[in-house]
Amino acid sequence: MLQKIEGIVIRSTDYGESHKVVAIYSREAGKISGMARGAKKPNSRLSAISQIFTYGHFLLQAGRGLGTLQQGEIITTFRGIKEDLFKTAYTTYIVEMVDKSTQDKQPNPYLFELLLQTLQYIDEGLDPDILTCIFEMKMLSVLGLYPEMEKCAVCGSTEGTFSFSIKENGLICHRCMEHDPHRLPLSQQSIKLLRLFYYFDLNRLGSISVKPETKKELKMAIDLYYEEYSGLYLKSKKFLDQLDSLRGKL
């Protein structure tokens, strides 16, 4: 059976001397994988369409096991990402997160739109640091994680000065801080942004301008939360952190 999908290549792995196995995150079918036969050959009609980050329409032949990629039509290759090392590093982390967080053939149109919009923004030159933080916060529900970001996780108050608590799984107000001596005393601006990133519609994103010290706090909080709850250990995250560290020394 032939299946036509709209999707983004989130993984492309060499197989044998001339083939590739591609994983595509699609609007219609979620994550779906297929063998791109001969795609490693320069003159192959599947060579371009099977490149990572490629967004397009794909035609796959379903099988009992791994399907076969028959053909594809490119919508965009996100050239701005591929020509920039830092953008590539951030985007590699994002697509690996999607790959490791999803099962095959489980549609999630929300996640597809989130992934597509994030890649488009990075490609256009918006701040990849902040876009990655937004993506991580919005991926929490996909991972089955629901930190309390609207009110104090202990007393339920919506007013006061807040900290972020890994232990209490969300925000805690100044009246409940004794419940977690290891809470993260983030600036109120960082708290505001964490809450905003979790709830707002990415399509409504305007210009981004966040101070370096605020970015550092956001990354620290999100990284610690993921380390505690997500169960994800991604090679691309380690490389991205090394690249960030190197960039900070330049």
Assign 75 to helix, strand or coil.
Answer: strand
The one-character DSSP state at 174 is G
Q: How far apart are CA 151 and CA 230, in angstroms?
A: 22
Q: What is the largest CA-CA distance in the chain?
A: 66
Do 153 and 170 touch, CB atoms closer than 8 A?
yes
Question: Tell me, what's the pLDDT at 109?
Answer: 96
Q: Where are the alpha helices (DSSP H) in 31-171?
A: 79-82, 85-101, 109-124, 128-139
Distances (CA, A) of 31 to 5, 79, 214: 11, 23, 34
Dist. CA 148–CA 143, nearest whole Å: 15
pLDDT of residue 248: 63
Counting as low any pLDDT under 70, the low residues of the chain are 248-250
Q: Which domains, and CATH codes, for the chain? A: 2-143+230-249 (2.40.50.140)
| Residue appearing with tokens 């099988």 | 63
Positive or negative torsion for Cα 159, 162, 168, 169: positive
* Phi, psi for 45 (deg, rounded to 5): -70, -10
Coil/strand/helix, residue 186: coil
- pLDDT, position 66: 87
Q: Which of 41, 84, 33, 6 is nearest to 247 (CA)?
A: 84
Provide the Cα torsion 30, 36, 40, 41; round to 10°. -140
The angle, 0 to 180 degrees and rounded to 10, between the axes of the packed helices 188-199 and 212-229 is: 60
pLDDT at site 208 = 79
Question: What is the DSSP-derived secondary structure letter of residue 165?
Answer: E
Q: What is the pLDDT of residues 53-109, one digit of tens each?
A: 999 999 999 877 788 999 999 999 999 999 999 999 999 999 999 999 999 999 999
Per-residue pLDDT at 1: 81
Half-sphere exposure of 51 (CA within 13 A, CB side): 19
Produce one character per residue of 17-56: b if its CB has 16 or more CB atoms within 10 Å, e if not: eebbbbbbbbbebbbbbbbbbbbbeeebebeebbbbbbbb
Neighbours of 206 (CB within 10 A): 6
Q: What is the mean pLDDT of the chain?
A: 95
